[in-house]
Structure 1
Amino acid sequence: MSGDDVPRFELVPEFGVILLKHVLSTSEQLALYKQVKDEVKTGQRGVPGNFHLSSGAAGSSHRRDALHELGNLLFHRAATAAASIKEDVSGEDATTMEPSLNRLQQVLSGERPADVQYVAGVAYTSTAKLANHCDMNKPLYTMSLALGEACDFTFGEKTARPYPNERSGKPVSLRMESGDAMFFDGGSIPHAVDGLVAGSAPDWWAKAGPKCSRVSFLFREA
Structure 2
Amino acid sequence: MDAAWIALALSLKVAGCATALNLVLGTAAGFALARLRFPGRELVDALLTLPLVLPPTVLGYYLLVLLGKRGWLGGWLYQHFGIQLIFTWQGAVLAASLVAFPLVLKSARAAFEGVEPQLEQAARVLGLGEWAVFFRVTLPLAWRGVLAGVLLAFARALGEFGATLMVAGSIPGRTQTLSVAIYEAVQAGQDDTANLLVLITSVTCVAALLLAGRLAPARNAAT
Report the TM-score, using the length of structure 2 for normalisation.
0.28
More strand by share: 1
Greater RCO structure (CA 8 Å; 6+ sep): 2
**Could you say which structure has the larger radius of gyration?**
2
More helix by share: 2
